[in-house]
Amino acid sequence: MNHSRLAGIAGLSHIGRRRRNNQDAIAWDAELGLALVADGVGGGNAGEIASATAVRSIAGDLRSAMLQTRTTSKPTSRTSQSALTQELVRRANQRILAAAGREPSLHGMRTTLAMTLLAGDFVTIANLGDSRVYRVRRGTLTQLTRDHRLVDELNAQGQLTVGEIERSTLGSTLSRALGLPGSLEADIEHHALASGDLFMLCTDGLTNAVPDAEIEEILSCAGEQLGDAANAAVAMANRRGGHDNISVIVLRIA
């Protein structure tokens, strides 16, 4: 059974053309209206353990929470949805840190997260790191998340000029991610839904290879088979070199 506002959902995670393993993880639950992508960071297999732990933790905890509240008919508020989402993220982070603490080979593992959760007439979006959520409405693509990269944070604070950013060795170093020590808070936003809205969650293996204009074209041409749009996006990133793992989830609002 699908969430009442969900017309369809599909996804694909691909190793790319240069990597030896896939450290991305994706998951969705049509009944809960949930979609997740995570991009793991860490040596060896640690990155893929972090990303898999994140999506498994959030999906499992959300299902448990929904089962406990299924008897109530009270509409979900944006405030309660924010609190629930932050708690899901907090628990996932605890599990990643606990695993890293138990096993030295996992020390320092971390992962990005991008998440959408449908609730009534709105969608809740959460993110940490540089995995993204986009929306296409009436043919126009909008990025709904903000990347959490250290160079961007320093630039926003006026500590780096554009030239210094271009010369910086910080590259894609993340300022926020699951698995980093200290307090953790995801960016959370709520957006009203409109009939026909198309959302895409993706890792930076796509966005570093394919510009937004081409992503907009792919998604705007998406038909009934959303898997075709996901496949087209991944194929485009691979044609551009496939330098990283590539993960995409596409969902349409009824």
- Kind and range of the H or E run holding 212: helix 212-220
Q: What is the pLDDT of residues 126-178, one digit of tens each?
A: 999 999 999 999 999 999 999 998 766 655 555 555 554 444 445 568 889 99
Predicted structure pTM score: 0.92
Percent of the chain whose pLDDT exceeds 70: 89
In single-letter form, the type of residue at position 207 comes to T
At residue 158, the pLDDT reads 55
Confidence of residue 182 (pLDDT cuts 50, 70, 90): confident
Tell me whether residue 102 is in a domain: yes
Positions of E strands within 172-245: 187-192, 198-202
What is the domain-level CATH number for residue 111?
3.60.40.10
Report which residue type is found at 216: E
Structural domain contains residue 234: yes
Per-residue b or e along 69-87, where b marks 16 or more CB atoms closer than 10 Å to that residue's CB: eeeeeeebeeeebbebbee
**Stronger pLDDT, 165 or 239, i.e. the higher one:** 239
DSSP state of 114: E
pLDDT at 170: 53
Question: What angle, rounded to 10 degrees, do the helices at 212-220 and 226-239 form?
Answer: 150
* Banded model confidence at residue 225, pLDDT cuts 50, 70, 90: very high
Q: What is the mean pLDDT of the chain?
A: 90
- In-domain check, residue 146: yes
Within a domain: 56: yes
Mean pLDDT score, 190-207: 97
How many domains are contained in the chain?
A: 1
Average pLDDT, integer, range 244-254: 97
Q: Torsions phi, psi of 128, nearest 5? A: -140, 130
* 206 located within any domain: yes
Q: How much is the average pLDDT of 239-243? A: 96
Amino acid at residue number 35: A
41: in domain: yes
Range of the domain at 183: 6-253
In a domain? residue 1:
no
